[in-house]
Structure 1
Amino acid sequence: MASKTPPPSLDRALRLVLFGFFGISASVGALIATTQVIASLGGAQRALPLADVAQSLGIDLAAAGTFAFFLRRDLQARDKQIARLTREERLGALPLSLANGRRVKVGQLRSFSRVVIAAGSPEQVAAAVQAAEPLREQLQERGVLVVPLPIFPGDPASSNGAAPAESSGSSSADDLRWKATPLRLEEWKAWFDEQTALANANLDKGLYISLRLDGRVRGSGQGPPPWQRLIAQLAPLEGARMCLHLPATSAQT
Structure 2
Amino acid sequence: MKAVQQRRSLRSLFGVTVVALAMTGSAATGAAAAPADSEVETLHWASIEEYSSAAGISEEEVVSMPDMKLPDKFRVRADDGSVSDVLSSEEFGGDHTAGSLPDLDPGGGNDGKWWSVVWGGRDWNATYVPLRLGNADLGYRHYNVRHNLTSIDPFKAALKAHGPNAQSNYTALLVDSNLGVRETVVFGVQMATRTSDGRYVSPDGAYIGVITGYCKGKSKCPNAVNRVRVS
Tell me the TM-score normalized by structure 2.
0.27
Whichever structure has more helix as a proportion of its residues is 1
Structure 1 length as normaliser, TM-score?
0.26
Larger strand proportion of the pair: 2
Larger radius of gyration: 1
